[in-house]
Structure 1
Amino acid sequence: MSFVDLINAKRAPGHLPFTRGEIAAQRAREAADFHTLPQAERDRRVMAAMEAVR
């Protein structure tokens, strides 16, 4: 099992909470127009959301 798989396995049952950056990135991905944007703009929005919570 990789390290990422281990983290995700612990996170699934609620043992490990998501970070503020992960939550912000998910909210950016849930925007109504997100999937209509070019990939570069999607990446920029996700990174901007993650930087904003630092």
Structure 2
Amino acid sequence: MVNALSDLAIWESEDDIAESYASFWTVNEELREALAEYTGRDIHLWAVEHVF
């Protein structure tokens, strides 16, 4: 997931591990919410990972 998001220039790791994790989590939640809205279904974070 980290590699896929980096390769697509959606997310980049930061020097601060805590900030990096927080931004990674935020991107995942935004993707989950977008997929849920598009499909009208409840989407689990595992589904987001499988997309990539």
TM-score (normalizing by structure 2): 0.38
TM-score (normalizing by structure 1): 0.37
Q: Whose Rg is larger? A: 1
